Structure 1
Amino acid sequence: MLVHPYHGSGRWLRGNLHAHTKNSDGKFSLEELVRNYEALGYDFLVITDHNKITPLEGIDSKTLLLPGCEISTDKGHITAVNLKEPIEPNQPSQKVIDAINAQGGIAILAHPNWGENFCHWQQEDLASLDSYAGIEVFNGNILRDTGSPLASDRWDMLLSKGQKCWGYGVDDTHNELDIANGWTMVLADELSPEAIVNALREGRCYASSGVFFEAIEVDETSIRVIARNADRIAFVGKHGRWLKWVNDRFASYRVRGDEGYIRVEAFGPHGSMAWTQPFFVSG
């Protein structure tokens, strides 16, 4: 049996969960940043200036805006989505996660492989903390910074130890080079803060740096996906092992029962990718 988040109906909505304005260390004013994403047709955008909540009042946009914050903690940075009140930075990470959750927000551990040592977050801290929603499996800002934008290695280490953890894609915008490098597609019935936040929390979403899934279908024993601009699809299991791969935009996998979990990676042109959430094998 497969336990997974892709239940219910709705439509796929594109959004960025991590973006900065001049209110912290971004190049753009709030108005300029919003217009950039609006021009690209983004459905929602979370403003996550460092250690402060940037007011969103007075901006009229077709793109739904959600308040957020990138909070510095004793261990690393945490991206908070749908944050209502500021949280004091530089506290213990677990205390910050608990404070985000208490406000009805979502705690995402930011850019795990950022830095010259490819280790913004120590793996033991990722494993010991609890009640966070997931990690940034792709952070587009790191394309032009030190470290790796990818954190699927960290994700597989957590999943392989039995930790339930979602993967999100972001571009971590600071300037024009970062916009639309990475994003998260959310399956929701409506474009509202409640619907977006619930889908993100429950994992009804996938991360992307350029590949789009047209379908993610699941029954008790198999997974089927279609990615409209992919040329390879891989099914990844415990410890990051590829279980099956095909050079096509359509792929299916029949579960054996001993995988632990299965997630799907799709590869497209110019190094673009997409990542489904894990499907946990039960029983």
Structure 2
Amino acid sequence: MPTRFFTAPGQFYRGNLHTHSTRSDGALEPDQVCQRYQDAGYDFISLTDHFLGQYGYPITDTSEFRNNGFTTLHGVELHCSAMDNGDMWHVVAVGLPEDFTPPDVPHFRYFDSSETITDLTNRAADAGAFIAIAHPHWSGLTEADARRIPAAHAVEIYNHGCAIENDRGDGLLSWDHMLNEGRRLTCIATDDAHFHTPDYFGGWVMVKAAENTPEALLAALRAGTFYSSTGPEIHDIRLTRLTVEVDCSKVQTITVVGKGIAASTLRGKDMTTGSIALDRFAVSPWIRVMVIDDAGKRAWSNPIWLDH
């Protein structure tokens, strides 16, 4: 993915792409969810309730909760069975139109769905949705499973709800496996907030867009002009012939990771810039940047494809 967007015209907007309400199994009404996020300083959210028959296949119209400082993206959490482990699929679809034809998925319990996850996510992507594989660690996603979603744009590499409830909020290994197979997928950090527990305000995306509108945000998400965070900020990433240059908020660690075991780390006190040599990545087709602050909070770049 390109990195020039960091300094290109536009503004970074903070958003959560995985959220639930009383339209499915969340604790708060849609208007309350939107208000909570706006009060916490977010610029946008996507309400992604479970797209199941038992909830009436909700694609909640949240447009009435938009205002000059806050916007919403329509979305759902798609389901279908079954993954390799026999459990249901969970896939986030942001920007799904309200007239999207639902699959025949009546409930969370096991059943033989007539539509495969490949067909369902292809339909959603064709309808304009940004498709993200949800909580791969919690779901038990296998590499074979991941290959069944060629329409995916992103992988959920941090899910705050799963992290605090069962310590299965990580998706980095699944993402790396997909990158190693040549799939040019971005990453997202999310809350998966239901508001039954403190599962909110823990992971987000910072999207660089011309304006805070659903259309501009969706275009930026598809283009990969964003990064993900649980705290730190990434201000710029510059790629030279020999180095990766990173500007960020105060951190203790700047790490560049590539294919296989390729990795290089810079450590220091309250670093706001760093330079890491690319010599360890001579045969890696991609790299990604991660920064960690003194509280252990992280931010992740999208992959940068080197195209040697």
TM-score (norm 2): 0.84
Match for 1:59: what amino acid?
F
Residues 100 and 255 of structure 1, relative CA distance in 2, 3 Å threshold: same
Which of residues 264, 268, 275 in structure 1 aligns to 2:293? 268
Q: Do the aligned partners of residues 59 and 93 (structure 1) sit closer, same or farther apart at CA in structure 2, a change above 3 Å counting?
A: same
Give the secondary structure class of the aligned counterpart of 1:179: coil
> For 1:56, which of 62, 77, 81 is the aligned residue?
62
**CA separation of 1:236 and 1:47: change in aligned 2, threshold 3 A:** same
Q: What per-residue deviation string (whole Å, max 9, x for no partner) do you get for residues 48-78 of structure 1?
A: 0000211224325431011000011223111
Residue equivalent to 2:136: 112
State, as a whole percentage, how many aligned pairs show the same letter.
26
- CA distance in 2: counterparts of 1:57 and 1:260, whole angstroms: 41
2:142 corresponds, among 122, 127, 143, to: 122
Which string of whole-angstrom CA distances, capped at 9 and with x for unpartnered residues, describes residues 208-261 of structure 1?
A: 111111222334554221221321110111125422333333222343432221
1:203 and 1:239 map into 2 onto residues whose CA distance is 23
Work out whether residues 5 and 203 of structure 1, in 8 Å CA contact, stay in contact via their aligned partners in 2.
no
CA deviations on 1:130-169 (whole Å, 9 max, x unpaired) are 1210110111011233352111111111111222111111
Q: Answer whether contact 1:113 1:147 (CA < 8 A) is retained.
A: no
Tell me: CA distance 1:261–1:60, structure 2 relative to 1, closer, same or farther (3 Å). closer
Determine if contact 2:190/2:204 at 8 Å carries over to the other structure: yes
In the alignment, is residue 100 of structure 1 matched against residue 91 of structure 2?
A: no
Q: More deviation in 121-130 or 219-228? A: 219-228
Spell out the pairing of 1:1-283 with structure 2 (5 A cutoff).
Answer: 4=2, 6-7=4-5, 8-51=8-51, 52-61=58-67, 62-74=69-81, 75=83, 76-84=89-97, 85-86=99-100, 87-88=102-103, 89=105, 90=113, 91-114=115-138, 119=140, 121-175=141-195, 177-219=198-240, 221-239=242-260, 241-247=262-268, 248-256=271-279, 257-283=282-308
Q: Please give the alpha-carbon distance, in whole angstroms, between the structure 1 residues aligned to 2:66 and 2:215.
A: 19
Distance in 2, Cα, partners of 1:81 & 1:220: 36
CA deviation string 1:168-201 (max 9, x = no partner): 1101110161111100011111111111111111
Q: Distance in 2 between matches of 1:221 and 1:164?
A: 23
**Runs of at least 4 residues off by over 6 Å:** none
Question: Aligned partners of 2:43 and 2:66: how far apart in 1?
Answer: 14
For the residues of structure 2 that align with 1:240 and 1:103, how far apart are their CA atoms? 38
Cα distance in structure 2, aligned partners of 1:244 and 1:131: 33
Q: Name stretches of at least 5 consecutive residues in structure 2 with no aligned partner.
A: 52-57, 84-88, 106-112
CA RMSD of superposed structures (Å)? 1.9
Is 2:3–2:237's contact at 8 Å kept on the other side of the alignment? no
Q: Is the 8 A contact 1:233 1:249 kept in 2?
A: no
- Please report the TM-score for the alignment, with normalisation by the length of structure 1: 0.91
Paired residues of 1:5 and 1:202 also in contact (CA < 8 A):
no
Higher alpha-carbon deviation: 42-51 or 155-164: 155-164
Q: Hey, what's the Cα distance between the residues in 1 that align with 2:288 and 2:63?
A: 39
Distance in 2 between residues matched to 1:69 and 1:98, nearest whole Å? 15
Aligned residues: 277
Bigger CA drift: 208-217 or 83-92? Answer: 83-92
Cα distance in 1 for partners of 2:79, 2:167 equals: 19
